[in-house]
Amino acid sequence: MQLPTYTQIVQHIPTIKTSNVPGHRLMKQAAVAAIFRHQPTLPSQTELLFIKRATNPNDPWSGHMAFPGGRVDPIDNNPFDAAVRETHEEIGLDLHTHATHIGRLSQLIAKRKGRPLPLVIEPHLFTLEAPPTFTLNHEVSEVIWIPMGFFLQQENRSTMPYKIAGVEVTLPCYRYQERVIWGLTLRMLDELLTTLPYTNPSPQ
């Protein structure tokens, strides 16, 4: 399996064919920002930014690995604006100044404990143009960069037990240094991975 270069990834993302949730304009909306960077010392190395959400009993995704983002507020013109605003609020990164918007992925229906919610999530993709300085708010406990190459190694694909309505099921995930990427974030990541050139992941 050949890892796409940073340039190949950036050039390919605008060509991704995305889909919208039927009736999404009648539902509550949210957006996230998936942010890429490359390491100058490793030209072929591309990394993707993740956050770990802080533990909060009122947060349906408390403690989860995720992309920065949140709900579309009345002050936002669209989901893109929400992704930019929420990223700045959560981790102190100004995407208008330090990043370039290169496309988006398909909209997803949010779920909680396996049940669909009346909430549509729209993932937007960015490339980082300058070294970032992060300032985390109370909603985020950690920011971490994960190499894209990690996700292209099938042996890194794993599973996890999860209970839905009292019934234990097995769900796909990635485990990176004791951090578990699963659920909605994994669905977004899988769409990205399956569209990249020269990759052949096998999502479960």
Model confidence pLDDT, tens digit, residues 33-54: 999 998 766 656 899 999 999 9
Instruction: Residue 35: count other Cβ atoms within 10 Å of its Cβ.
Output: 26
Burial of 24 (0-12, 13-18, 19+ CB in 10 A): middle
Query: What pLDDT is recorded for position 43?
Result: 53
- Could you tell me how many residues make up the chain? 204
Domains of the chain, earliest start first: 6-154+184-195 (3.90.79.10)
Query: What pLDDT is recorded for position 130?
Result: 82
What's the maximum distance between 2 C-alpha atoms anywhere in the chain?
49
pLDDT digits (tens, 9 = 90+) for 142-181: 999 999 989 988 899 999 999 887 889 999 999 999 899 9
If you average pLDDT over residues 101-112, what whole number do you get?
Answer: 94
Q: Looking at the predicted structure, is the pLDDT value of residue 202 above 60?
A: no
Structure tokens, 93: 């990164």
